[in-house]
Amino acid sequence: MSSHRRYLFVDSFVRRVWMAVVRWSAVWSLGAALPIASTAVRAETPATVEYSRDVRPLLERRCASCHGAEKQKGGFRVDSAAAVLRGGEAHAPAVKPGDSAHSPLIQVVEGVIPDLRMPAKGEPLSTAEIALLRAWIEQGATVPVESAAEADPIRSHWAFNPVRRPKVPVTALNRGDSAVNPVDAFVAASLTEKHLTPSPEADRVTLIRRVYFVMLGLPPSPEEVATYLADSKPEAFERLVDRVLADARYGERWGRHWLDVVRFAESNGFETNRERLSAWRFRDYVIAAFNQDKPFDQFVREQIAGDSLGADVATGFLVGGPVDIVGSPDPTLTLQQRADELDDMVSTTGTAFLGLTLGCARCHSHKFDPISHREYYAMTALFAGVRHGERALPRAEGQMATLRRLDREIAVLETNLVPFLERQAPVTALRKPPSVTFGRNIDEFKPVVARWVRFTVLATTGAEPCLDELEVWSGDKNIGLASRGARASASGTIAGFPMHRVEHLNDGQVGNEHSWISNESGKGWAQIELAKPERVTRIVWGRDQQGVFRDRLPTDYRIEVANEPGQWRRVADSTEREPFAGGPQVAVAPTYRFDGVLESRAAEGRAWLARLDLIRSERKAAANSEMVYAGTFVNPTTAFRLHRGDPMQRRELVEPGMLALFNPMTLATNAPEADRRLALARWITDPAHPLTSRVIVNRIWQHQFGAGLVSTPNDFGKNGARPSHSELLDWLAADLVSHGWSLKHLQRLILTSRTWRQSSAPRADGLAADAGARLLWRFPPRRVEAEAIRDTILAVSGNLDLTTGGPSFYLHEVDRENVYHYQPKDRFGPAESRRMVYAFKVRMEQDGIFGAFDCPDGSLVAPKRSASTTPLQALNLFNSQFMLDQSEVFAARLRREGGKSAEGQVRRAWILSYNREPDRRERGDAIAFVASQGVPALCRAILNSSELVFVP
């Protein structure tokens, strides 16, 4: 670009910016500096104008489609009387009672302001309509008492009001028939208002293909179709629905929908994009939850606070989003990264469970919904102790029983081997026992009778001391176990961590996740009260006998016993050991000598030692815990309101708390970490909560019909869409709660309705009145999603592996450097033939073939997928090596199952692909095509056909 043209460009740009500033300044001062509206054309003013009867319907009908003109520069909202009278951040009140000429509302509807008009789209208001608004303003712009609810930002919005179970409407469909499905009654009532009628029921083959695609994401097999067609008894379709709901593939299909909602993926995203190799356990948890019909309220609670509810894997929801693991010495960047992590948790919780865009209140109070800036940070305080990362899963009872059995055998063998311990003389030359270790430590002493044993910590390697088990041994028995009647107590316990409790001191389980941590830095005591006075010979203790954690180790301690309360007697302490030198300490293995004794006795000792080595190896292997990427939990830091969302601009301290729109609740600033999330989980799943049941009902409806009753599934706020059938939504929400939050009950109710079973064929009257079928005068047909397309191709070709669960398979080759790179595979074998829900989900990279079919990558929540049609999709399906391979596999299946004749192979292809016979023309064309191009070419064409992956 020449310098002359560059200056012209800059000059033009500056002029445009200046004109925009001038227009913005004029709009900002609306009502104070605007020209008086034209009065040249006036319609006759009505004698009395009422807001509810005359003004509100006009504003809602003609001006409120985009919240007035607020989405334009300097516009304002007119969707409620309060908004009109109150004004907003960029304008004065829209009306000046008694002065219509200077009211911004009139200025805008008359087009006085350049580049600002209302309605934003469509024809402008007529002279008569403007005159009506003028008259209302001139008469004082009064709002009747019954409209005062508009001033309440909560009561004025439908979604924030309690769910009420409305009466089922009576229509010609259900008059005198109480057995009619309520879904049909509500839909019929809406259709009647528009002078429409439902479509007739679809044929049986269409219905079984529809129910399989919608519920399982796969086509039915020819055998499954034959079974259904052969069932001539009443309620055959209801029995089909029951079989489908009991199918394990149901959880895979509907689990995938939920994973979209909660932005699940198995890599970190950002620059390094490293793998999360244990995140698949959360995916399997979701699939199992749908298959088990886990009550939805329990499903929600477990995902927020599963570590407190016996469902540790479920908290994978909290840390399912992307995370930037690149550290920095810059405190600003570090704080910003942490703020982004918390925002992801808060925002996803809001959209997934409540249908609220909580993230919009991060920098300022929400522009549309009653969510203040402070409330947003009260919500972040609930998650302040949650960190990204893996943690060990609690051991199963069978594993714990194995460990207890091995520990008992180790103790017996160690006791048996005591006579063979190498002993040195004289006493002054005896070496002290080795230093304390992070693993298993033994303190032996002369036998003493005691009822109480106390372990007092005087110093640690840092932070509060931790003990994973405090064992009290008498001979070959651990008499300090709770199962033997012993009771544990302590000086105090760190708050907020269910895995660190005093009960873990003697529960027989070792490892960090079953341990006690003191509430005092560097000190504290733990005590075991035995069921009765016992002869005690040694104490066994450890910080983490699984060998994972190397911190919080007691280095200075004493062990005391008492037979009467308060009469303590020291029996061992850390001074009797080698001093702790720092770093990972390894216990010195004792040396056993078998000389100087009878050979038979020596042989017995050597056998015991060999057995001891073997059992210790077995125990080490049995102690390994499975890991899951489900977050770690630390003591929450203090939360503050961040001015404009900037972590460097802290303002006042904020207590953890819930939103004011329903049963507001505030917790103490020192509330334990787990208690915070548990309180949130219970608040969200309160049966009276106005949003939770509505939101999940809407999600289920969306995947049944292709669109939700509310078309903005993640936004039930004032900026979202209103429901197409509001009473039906509330009836279903109330019914869901009353049936124990059973999603399968809800699914069955919808599936067995006449509305769901009606034909998808278009009708002229329906298309004219409701082209998108939002009123459900027909079943809305649609293409299935990327995963179902791939699964269907594999199923029809006979190549689908239905193995469930377990680690993910890869559709990418991975270059594992500091920054991970994922290259889409172009060759696929048996390992890649499982359902696509089990494919390793990579952020920022798509599968090379099916990613083009609007497949989300997990970087953001995906409440609903778009359905594009692009050349790249066609090219991928037609030319990819995957499709060429599947065409060959499909052709081999046709030769195997259809016989040697082209006619038999064509017939089998249609039955496998479309669950129907080919018509005469299709048969003739296909046979001719096979003769000229071969069976694989026909298979390739079929696998690319729309009918194969279409919900009819």
What pLDDT digit, counting tens, does each position of 905-933 carry? 999 999 999 999 999 999 999 999 999 99
Rounded distance between C-alpha atoms, residue 782 and residue 629, angstroms: 35
Lowest mean pLDDT among 144-158, 312-326, 444-458, 591-605: 144-158
E strand intervals along 3-47: none
How many C-beta atoms surround the C-beta of residue 339 within 10 A?
17
Structure confidence at residue 178 (pLDDT) = 66
**Chain centre distance of CA 822:** 24
Instruction: Report which of residues 567 and 124 the model is more confident about.
Output: 567
- How far apart, in whole angstroms, are the C-alpha atoms of residue 759 and residue 175? 23
Please give the residue that has the higher pLDDT: either 3 or 291. 291
Which residues have CB under 8 Å from 951's CB, separation 6+?
Answer: 209, 210, 213, 214, 706, 781, 782, 783, 784
pLDDT for 548 equals: 78
pLDDT tier, 43 (very low <50, low <70, confident <90, very high otherwise): very low
pLDDT confidence tier of residue 221, bands split at 50, 70 and 90: very high
User: Within 13 Å and on the Cβ side, how many CA atoms surround 117?
Assistant: 11
**For 264-279, what is each residue's pLDDT tens digit?**
999 999 999 999 999 9
Residue 426 has pLDDT above 50, yes or no: no
Residue 603 identity: A
Residue 407 or residue 691, greater confidence: 691
65 and 49 in contact (C-beta within 8 Å)? no
Q: What is the pLDDT of residue 489?
A: 93
Confidence of residue 21 (pLDDT cuts 50, 70, 90): very low
Using DSSP, state whether 415 is helix, strand or coil: helix
Determine the pLDDT at residue 61: 65
Q: Is 455 left (phi over 0), alpha (psi -120 to 50) or beta?
A: beta
Confidence of residue 501 (pLDDT cuts 50, 70, 90): confident
**Residues 323, 945: Cα–Cα separation, whole Å:** 40
Higher pLDDT, 10 or 355: 355
Q: Mean pLDDT across the stretch 614-637?
A: 86
Print burial letters for 578-614: b (CB count within 10 Å at least 16), e (below 16). Answer: eebeeeebeeeeeebeeeeeeeeeeeebeebbebbee
Distance between alpha carbon 177 and the CA centroid of its chain, in Å?
41
Percent of the chain with pLDDT over 70: 88
Please give the pLDDT value at position 311. 94
- What band does 57 get if pLDDT is binned at 50, 70 and 90? confident
Percent of the chain with pLDDT over 90: 62
CA distances from residue 536 to 391, 468, 472, 508, 562 in whole angstroms, order as listed: 36, 20, 7, 18, 11
CA angle 678, 679, 685 (to 5 degrees): 90
Q: Which residues pair with 557 in a beta bridge?
A: 457
Residue 53 has pLDDT above 90, yes or no: no
User: What average pLDDT does this structure show over 809-834?
Assistant: 93
**What pLDDT was estimated at residue 16?**
47
Which of 78-92, 401-415, 730-744 shows the highest mean pLDDT? 730-744
- The string of pLDDT tens digits covering residues 526-551 is 999 998 999 999 999 999 888 778 88
- pLDDT mean over 146-172: 80
At residue 406 the predicted structure's pLDDT band, cuts being 50, 70 and 90, is confident
pLDDT at 65: 40
Q: Is the pLDDT of residue 652 over 90?
A: yes
Average pLDDT, the chain: 86
Nearest 10 degrees: CA dihedral of 648, 654, 658, 663?
A: -150
Is pLDDT of 422 > 90?
no
Q: Assign 245 to helix, strand or coil.
A: helix
pLDDT greater than 60 at residue 160 = yes
pLDDT value, residue 547: 77
Convert 258-292 to b/e letters by CB count within 10 Å (16 or more is b).
Answer: bbbbbbbbbbbbbeebbbbebbbbbbbbbbbbbbe
H helices, E strands: number in the chain: 28, 19
